């Protein structure tokens, strides 16, 4: 057999890659030639991917010991894959625990090589995802019907202000829609039976003040047990935070503060002084775990999964409340967030997704169309956007 001159070997190796040769079929050059690993190193690693293994674990992750046990099993299963990635001058950027997988920046040849590995279920591009937007339109007004029966939550509130400022309205309206809480203690309500105490809910927060008075309980303990930034912006970076405050409030606001809406609305649409409300969560006894995963330009899928993974393995969240989505084309089972959510459900976590439906203009978005998660929608009963947020988070 004739050997290839060493001066020509690098050029031929690059030519083989450019011609679309499969990574597993790349020729091996001996002695003064190039090995397959050397050929892989000739191509730059520029592709962000999520590698999901076929072997997936089950069992609750409710303690540090259970997390350590799962990680030990996964480390053995991933070791040859990670070694191959490192040898090709690609690099692993993060490893998950709920989902047996990892993120890496690889070359196109290494991506093909990983996909061909019999232990790999999928190699998924690490796509950019935009956060969901509230359906409320800035400057819009709410048209209220003319009558309201406080004992019938299906009848909308008349106007947006109470008749007596000393008796503020209880918001969000979903509290009454779902028979959770009423200002009138004589009305049967779920709040008399359960408050969510002992339950940890993790949700996406785009920036908020965890020391807001409505996030501090009567005994001075904090509603937030943890809050972490995964964007690199920092947890205190300026942001609109409307979605974050709305989500956190709809879950576990304490209802201790009285707000006069006339101090917050646009002068173009004024309200009379004394338009008072209290904001109370559907589960004020629950604890919150905040994950800032969306920056100004959105987020990578891997960042979202990293935040969710942290909430489960670090703080042992009972519920993952997700408010984001998009129209994946094509919408396939290889959606990385769906795979993570499926793994979370197998680990005993309840996952809630907003449907993102908005009348005739939008339909259900991915990953909300996953059969293994609870899909939720909202009905404001004509009074306010906080009702939409309350129902969306499944509480």
Tell me what the mean pLDDT of segment 31-48 comes to: 62
In a domain, 225, yes or no: yes
In a domain, 363, yes or no: yes
Residue 146 clears pLDDT 70, i.e. is over it: no
For residues 54 and 9, membership in a common domain is answered with no
For residues 337 and 371, membership in a common domain is answered with yes
Final residue before a domain boundary, out of 9, 24, 42: 42
Q: Which region holds residue 290: left if phi is over 0, alpha if psi is between -120 and 50, else beta?
A: beta
In a domain, 253, yes or no: yes
The whole-number pLDDT of residue 86 equals 92
The whole-number pLDDT of residue 304 equals 92
The mean of the pLDDT values for the chain is 78
> Are 282 and 175 a contacting pair, CB within 8 Å?
yes
Render 163-184 in DSSP notation, one character per residue: SSTTSPEEE-THHHHTTS--SS
Domain membership of residue 53 as a residue range: 44-126
Other Cβ atoms within 10 Å of 7 Cβ, number:
8
For residues 303 and 189, membership in a common domain is answered with yes
- 331-354 per-residue burial string, b: 16 or more CB within 10 A, e: under 16: eeebbbbbbbbbbbbbbebbbbbb
Q: What is the pLDDT of residues 50-76, one digit of tens each?
A: 999 999 999 999 999 999 999 999 999
For residues 104 and 246, membership in a common domain is answered with no
Point out the least confidently predicted range of 75-89, 306-320, 348-362.
348-362
The whole-number pLDDT of residue 381 equals 62
The confidence band for 370, taking pLDDT boundaries of 50, 70 and 90, is confident
Point out the least confidently predicted range of 40-44, 156-160, 248-252.
156-160
Tell me what the mean pLDDT of segment 323-342 comes to: 74
CATH number at residue 56: 3.30.70.80
Residue recorded with tokens 């008796």: 167
Task: Report the predicted TM-score, pTM, of the whole model to 2 decimal places.
Answer: 0.77
- Bridge partners (DSSP) of residue 280 are 254
User: How far is residue 333 CA from its own chain's centroid?
Assistant: 18
Q: What is the pLDDT of residues 242-275, one digit of tens each?
A: 778 888 998 999 999 999 999 988 888 888 999 9
The whole-number pLDDT of residue 41 equals 55
> Are 161 and 272 a contacting pair, CB within 8 Å?
yes
Q: How far apart are CA 199 and CA 102, in angstroms?
A: 29
For residues 225 and 77, membership in a common domain is answered with no
For residues 216 and 316, membership in a common domain is answered with yes
3-class SS of residue 350: strand
Point out the least confidently predicted range of 85-94, 119-128, 209-218, 357-366.
357-366
For residues 113 and 29, membership in a common domain is answered with no
Tell me what the mean pLDDT of segment 12-38 comes to: 42
CATH number at residue 240: 3.40.50.200
Final residue before a domain boundary, out of 102, 126, 150: 126
Of residues 224 and 380, more confidence is placed in 224
> Are 323 and 351 a contacting pair, CB within 8 Å?
no
Greatest Cα pair distance, the chain, in angstroms, is 97
Render 241-301 in DSSP notation, one character per residue: -HHHHHHHHHHH-B----EEGGGTS-TTS---TT-EEEEB-S-TTSEEEEEE--BTTBEEH
For residues 263 and 359, membership in a common domain is answered with yes
The whole-number pLDDT of residue 148 equals 40
3-class SS of residue 49: strand
For residues 86 and 22, membership in a common domain is answered with no
In a domain, 302, yes or no: yes
For residues 109 and 174, membership in a common domain is answered with no
Final residue before a domain boundary, out of 126, 161, 179: 126
Q: How far apart are CA 41 and CA 66, in angstroms?
A: 38
Helix pair 242-252, 385-392: axis angle to 10 deg? 70
Residue recorded with tokens 């061909």: 116
Point out the least confidently predicted range of 71-85, 150-164, 279-293.
150-164
In a domain, 81, yes or no: yes
Of 204, 217, 208, the closest CA to residue 280 belongs to 217
Helices (H), 107-237: 108-115, 174-177
Tell me what the mean pLDDT of segment 307-321 comes to: 95
Task: Report the number of distinct structural domains present in the chain.
Answer: 3
Highest-scoring range by mean pLDDT, 182-191, 242-251, 292-301? 182-191
The whole-number pLDDT of residue 392 equals 41
For residues 115 and 186, membership in a common domain is answered with no
The whole-number pLDDT of residue 379 equals 58
For residues 97 and 240, membership in a common domain is answered with no
In a domain, 138, yes or no: no
In a domain, 140, yes or no: no
């Amino acid at each position: 057999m004739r050997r290839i001159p060493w001066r020509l070997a690098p050029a031929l190796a690059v030519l083989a890659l450019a011609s679309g040769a499969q990574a597993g079929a790349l020729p091996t050059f001996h002695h003064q030639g190039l090995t397959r690993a050397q050929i892989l190193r000739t191509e730059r690693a520029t592709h962000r991917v999520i590698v999901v293994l076929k072997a997936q674990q089950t069992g609750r992750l409710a303690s540090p010991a259970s997390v350590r046990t799962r990680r030990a099993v996964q480390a053995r299963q991933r070791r040859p894959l990670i070694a191959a990635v490192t040898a090709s001058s690609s690099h692993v950027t993060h490893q998950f625990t709920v989902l047996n997988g990892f993120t890496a920046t690889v070359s196109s040849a290494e991506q093909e090589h990983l996909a061909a590995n019999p232990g790999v279920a999928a190699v998924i591009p690490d796509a950019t995802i935009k956060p969901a937007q509230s359906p409320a339109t800035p400057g819009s007004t709410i048209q209220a019907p003319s009558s309201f029966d406080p004992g019938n939550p299906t009848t909308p509130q008349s106007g947006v202000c109470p008749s007596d400022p000393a008796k503020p309205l209880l918001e969000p309206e979903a509290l009454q829609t779902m028979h959770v809480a009423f200002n009138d203690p004589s009305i049967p309500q779920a709040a008399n039976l359960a408050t969510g105490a002992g339950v940890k809910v993790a949700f996406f927060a785009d920036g908020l003040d965890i020391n807001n008075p409505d996030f501090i309980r009567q005994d001075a303990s904090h509603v937030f047990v943890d809050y972490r930034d995964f964007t690199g912006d920092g947890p205190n970076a300026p942001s609109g935070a409307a979605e974050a405050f709305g989500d956190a409030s709809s879950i576990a606001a304490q209802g201790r503060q009285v707000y006069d809406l006339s101090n917050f609305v646009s002068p173009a649409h004024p309200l009379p002084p004394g338009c008072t409300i209290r904001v109370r969560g559907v589960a004020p006894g629950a604890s919150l775990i905040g994950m800032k995963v969306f920056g100004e330009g959105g987020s990578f899928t891997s960042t979202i999964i990293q935040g969710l993974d942290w909430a489960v393995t670090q703080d042992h969240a009972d519920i993952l409340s997700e408010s984001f989505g998009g129209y994946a084309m094509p919408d396939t089972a290889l959606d990385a967030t769906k795979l993570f959510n499926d793994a979370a459900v197998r680990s005993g976590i309840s996952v809630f997704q907003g449907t993102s439906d908005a009348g005739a203009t939008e339909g259900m978005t991915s990953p909300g169309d996953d059969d293994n998660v609870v899909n939720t929608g909202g009905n404001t009963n004509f009074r306010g956007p906080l009702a939409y947020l309350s129902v969306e988070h499944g509480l």
